[in-house]
Amino acid sequence: MTRSDLSGRRVLIVEDRYLIATEVADTVADLGGEVLGPVSSVQAAAELLRQTRADLALLDVNLDGEMVFPLAEELERGGTPIVFLTGYNEETLPAAWRGRPRLVKPVDPVALRDVLLRARASGARPAAPDRV
């Protein structure tokens, strides 16, 4: 892992748990990515996205009772790859969002790095990580 792996990539982090948000942001920064946020609500993310665009988004599914799916839909319409960060298993997600890249909390830094690098390499929706 080198600082240039995500160079030039803006990564939106939407996570309501401070420690998780900090750890994820540190991993993105360690890979040379520009951290957008972290923010802890759909509204805060939407406001941030009015000012800049994201190349990739890491989204907590449940933001203190607020589901992130409306934001995920908006990001996907704009072509931004998303990765869900969640404690939910695959079957509890709405059917439309199953099979998407998902990292289980607590987030394994190696799995996070792998999914970020796959997203960078492909320039498209990242592949599901080997480890969730």
At 24-54, the pLDDT tens digits run 999 999 989 999 999 999 999 999 999 999 9
Give the burial string for 109-130 (b: 16+ CB within 10 Å, else e). eeebbbbbebbbeeeebbeebe
Looking at per-residue confidence, does 9 or 3 come out higher? 9
Average pLDDT, rounded, for the chain: 86
State residue 50's pLDDT score. 95
pTM of the model: 0.86
State residue 132's pLDDT score. 37
State residue 128's pLDDT score. 41
Pair type for strands 62-63 and 66-67: antiparallel
The fold of 10-122 is Rossmann fold (3.40.50)
